[in-house]
A and B are shown apart, each in its own frame.
Chain A
């Protein structure tokens, strides 16, 4: 059977599994729809969080980015994992104790203000919508690359699948499909990595061969021979200051992303929230420690297979032929000396080339090839190559569904129920929730088919805004009893404005970045401003009312196990 036939079979089987799980977890009430009945065990919530978090970008693009950036690619590794420590220690247990439905719920209740709630709703919707458009596009891309459908058809197929389990099962359906999707994506990621690791170093465990074989040393050696900067050389592409700000912005942004935070509302108690954060990061770490190993292997392979080879030799390799067709790889012997020469430019992201360099450049590589072509480079059988397509789809669909639920609950719960019609019946609230998921899917699909030209740019905005809006006010809401309504509203608005102004100025108006801090790193500055403004304004205005201070006290107290409470109650009745 051909790779395409296998891919069709594997993708269809995985979709049947997701639909079956979605049908099994259909729900009848809002508790099930928004927070999965708060009945998700910590281990399962860990796997669901990992799938929710790891998007098409983590699965397909991250290893390629690291491969191109070398040490500087660590910003993604540290940034996207380090944030979980903040989440686990500073946010997740208290938000679970608070025990409502959404992030704006916490902001609105803790700061006793519908203005604060509205600012939070706008930020949550904006962050999630920009993010989900990219996921839908990712679904379309995977379809078009592996199967004979267009990107638009792929987006529509993805929409139908997500719509089925999200509308029927809400958070419950999404959670259990995400658990299955984590399984698919991690297997699809590990098998090719293990195969290529064995071929290059004889050690099947990518992490071990990255750490203890001589592959990194060999790669640095090749770089030296070619006159490149060593692979492990820090700050070759970004300054230390930029790396620092970029990493902090990603860490804090991760901890502030609403679709991740709400996952911790779905576990039974505070204890489970703390443990499931650990499981989540462990499951994420399996992929995130494999990615840098894969990045190293792929760069080694690309250089040794392509550099100083004749065009005929390169064309003989199966994978180069296939990936040239998809435009991820282009080779051309421009100076007609019958061999291909790699330059440092071949490994630059969006290189700005002078016409002279374009005329000389013989090898052009798209970073996505690192993950997508590895199975073929490692000569894996067709059915395993098919698994990578299913893995990419699982990563994109699981993230998309988590984001869609945040958009739905922000409108159905925070706007409709909490602000417009607080007396709405259970059935009506559930109905509005389902309608909102449907509308959100339609909007996300629209942006997937007609992507605004700036998807990559707005993802920076999503992280920056999460870092500069939610993170400081949630932390202060728990750890600073004096933080009040005025402070939080002022802090969020200042953080949002500073961050978006800088990102828009740099990305769209062509402003030269200050001190070399890229737009993606500016969320760090916005976050600092939010902290300062909230702290200062809170102290210049009246303290929060007594019942809010009691709410904060209650968040900080140890939680009674529900069973023990029941026992005490009975004893006292006697």
Chain B
């Protein structure tokens, strides 16, 4: 794999990590701790639980699970994209 391709792969990876971690910070620190009091004035839609409390004790955990699976899924796609390019390159090389 060429250097610029490796760089592009790494950039795509770190951008994905950055985006997912922004969501992670918003949910774990923002909604569950810093803004829990204003959120508690609202009820969980469909339930009777204060929303901030619910996010801290249920919602955040569901989001964490989802974030990890999204990362695994997106990285599989990214891997395939770059490794296909790689094997195309090797094939075209071996034909010439």
Which A residues lie at the B interface, using CB under 8 A?
A: 66, 71, 73-74, 77-78, 81-82, 84-85, 88-90, 93, 207, 210-214, 216-217, 232, 234, 240, 243-244, 247-248, 251, 271, 274-275, 277-278, 281-282, 285, 288-289, 292, 479, 553, 556-561, 564, 568, 571-572
User: How many pairs of A and B residues are in contact by the CB < 8 Å rule?
Assistant: 152
**0 or 1 for each of B1-37: is its CB under 8 Å from A? (1 = yes):** 1000010011001100100110010001100111011
CB closest chain-A residue, reference B29:
A244
Known contacts being A275-B72, A557-B6, is A571 close to B94, with CB within 8 Å?
A: yes
**0 or 1 for each of B84-96: is its CB under 8 Å from A? (1 = yes):** 0011001100100
Known contacts being A74-B32, A85-B68, is A271 close to B76, with CB within 8 Å?
A: yes
Taking a contact as CB atoms under 8 Å apart, the answer to whether A234 and B36 are in contact is yes
Taking a contact as CB atoms under 8 Å apart, the answer to whether A78 and B17 are in contact is no
Question: How far does the Cβ of A216 sit from chain B's closest Cβ, in whole Å?
Answer: 5
Taking a contact as CB atoms under 8 Å apart, the answer to whether A232 and B53 are in contact is yes
Q: Choose one: B24, B46, B75, B86; the contact of A212 (CB below 8 Å).
A: B46
Question: How far does the Cβ of A247 sit from chain B's closest Cβ, in whole Å?
Answer: 7
CB closest chain-A residue, reference B21:
A89
Given A210-B49, A271-B75, 8 extra CB contacts under 8 A:
A74-B53, A78-B33, A78-B61, A85-B67, A232-B50, A281-B68, A288-B61, A572-B94
- Find chain B residues with CB under 8 A from A289 CB: 58, 61-62
Taking a contact as CB atoms under 8 Å apart, the answer to whether A81 and B50 are in contact is no
- Find chain B residues with CB under 8 A from A85 CB: 20-21, 24, 64, 67-68
Known contacts being A214-B48, A216-B48, is A556 close to B34, with CB within 8 Å?
A: no
CA gap between A269 and B83 in the complex, in Å: 15
Taking a contact as CB atoms under 8 Å apart, the answer to whether A74 and B48 are in contact is no
Taking a contact as CB atoms under 8 Å apart, the answer to whether A234 and B6 are in contact is no
CA gap between A267 and B90 in the complex, in Å: 28
Q: List 13 A-B contacts (CB under 8 A).
A: A66-B57, A71-B36, A71-B53, A77-B60, A82-B28, A217-B48, A234-B37, A240-B34, A277-B68, A558-B1, A558-B82, A559-B79, A571-B94
CA gap between A564 and B82 in the complex, in Å: 13
- Find chain B residues with CB under 8 A from A84 CB: 64, 68
Whether, in the assembled complex, B78 has its beta carbon less than 8 Å from a beta carbon of chain A, the answer is yes
Find the residue from A85, A285, A557 having the highest chain B CB count within 10 A. A85
Which B36-60 residues have C-beta < 8 A from chain A? Answer: 36-37, 40, 44, 46-50, 52-54, 56-58, 60
Known contacts being A214-B48, A232-B49, A556-B10, is A77 close to B61, with CB within 8 Å?
A: yes
Q: Which 7 A-B pairs have the closest CB atoms?
A: A74-B56, A292-B57, A232-B53, A274-B72, A278-B68, A217-B48, A88-B68
Taking a contact as CB atoms under 8 Å apart, the answer to whether A82 and B64 are in contact is yes
- Find chain A residues with CB under 8 A from B64 CB: 81-82, 84-85, 281, 285
Taking a contact as CB atoms under 8 Å apart, the answer to whether A74 and B71 are in contact is no
- Find chain A residues with CB under 8 A from B6 CB: 553, 556-557
Taking a contact as CB atoms under 8 Å apart, the answer to whether A234 and B29 are in contact is no
Known contacts being A89-B17, A211-B44, is A247 close to B61, with CB within 8 Å?
A: no
Known contacts being A234-B37, A558-B83, is A282 close to B90, with CB within 8 Å?
A: no
Q: Choose one: B52, B61, B87; the contact of A234 (CB below 8 Å).
A: B52
Question: How far does the Cβ of B88 sit from chain A's closest Cβ, in whole Å?
Answer: 12
Taking a contact as CB atoms under 8 Å apart, the answer to whether A564 and B61 are in contact is no
Taking a contact as CB atoms under 8 Å apart, the answer to whether A211 and B49 are in contact is yes
Known contacts being A74-B32, A274-B72, is A212 close to B87, with CB within 8 Å?
A: no
Q: Choose one: B9, B40, B61; the contact of A232 (CB below 8 Å).
A: B40
Taking a contact as CB atoms under 8 Å apart, the answer to whether B58 and A210 are in contact is yes
- Find chain B residues with CB under 8 A from A89 CB: 17, 20-21, 67-68, 71
CA gap between A568 and B91 in the complex, in Å: 9
Taking a contact as CB atoms under 8 Å apart, the answer to whether B65 and A281 are in contact is yes
Question: How far does the Cβ of A358 sit from chain B's closest Cβ, in whole Å?
Answer: 32
Q: Choose one: B44, B52, B62, B87; the contact of A568 (CB below 8 Å).
A: B87
- Find chain A residues with CB under 8 A from B34 CB: 240, 244
Question: How far does the Cβ of B6 sit from chain A's closest Cβ, in whole Å?
Answer: 6
Known contacts being A277-B68, A285-B61, is A560 close to B83, with CB within 8 Å?
A: yes
Taking a contact as CB atoms under 8 Å apart, the answer to whether A78 and B20 are in contact is no
Question: How far does the Cβ of A483 sit from chain B's closest Cβ, in whole Å?
Answer: 16
CA gap between A288 and B54 in the complex, in Å: 13
CA gap between A479 and B14 in the complex, in Å: 9
Taking a contact as CB atoms under 8 Å apart, the answer to whether A247 and B28 are in contact is yes
Taking a contact as CB atoms under 8 Å apart, the answer to whether A82 and B24 are in contact is yes
Question: How far does the Cβ of A520 sit from chain B's closest Cβ, in whole Å?
Answer: 15
- Find chain A residues with CB under 8 A from B33 CB: 78, 240, 243-244, 247
Question: How far does the Cβ of A571 sit from chain B's closest Cβ, in whole Å?
Answer: 6
Q: Choose one: A211, A244, A248, A278; the contact of B69 (CB below 8 Å).
A: A278
Question: How far does the Cβ of B85 sit from chain A's closest Cβ, in whole Å?
Answer: 10
Question: How far does the Cβ of B71 sit from chain A's closest Cβ, in whole Å?
Answer: 6
- Find chain B residues with CB under 8 A from A285 CB: 61-62, 64-65
Q: Choose one: A88, A212, A288; the contact of B71 (CB below 8 Å).
A: A88
Question: How far does the Cβ of B79 sit from chain A's closest Cβ, in whole Å?
Answer: 5
Taking a contact as CB atoms under 8 Å apart, the answer to whether B79 and A277 are in contact is no
Taking a contact as CB atoms under 8 Å apart, the answer to whether B72 and A558 are in contact is no
- Find chain A residues with CB under 8 A from B10 CB: 556-557
CA gap between A111 and B88 in the complex, in Å: 36
CB closest chain-A residue, reference B18:
A89
CA gap between A248 and B32 in the complex, in Å: 12
Taking a contact as CB atoms under 8 Å apart, the answer to whether B79 and A558 are in contact is yes
Question: How far does the Cβ of A74 sit from chain B's closest Cβ, in whole Å?
Answer: 4
- Find chain A residues with CB under 8 A from B40 CB: 232, 234
- Find chain A residues with CB under 8 A from B24 CB: 82, 85
Taking a contact as CB atoms under 8 Å apart, the answer to whether A557 and B1 are in contact is yes
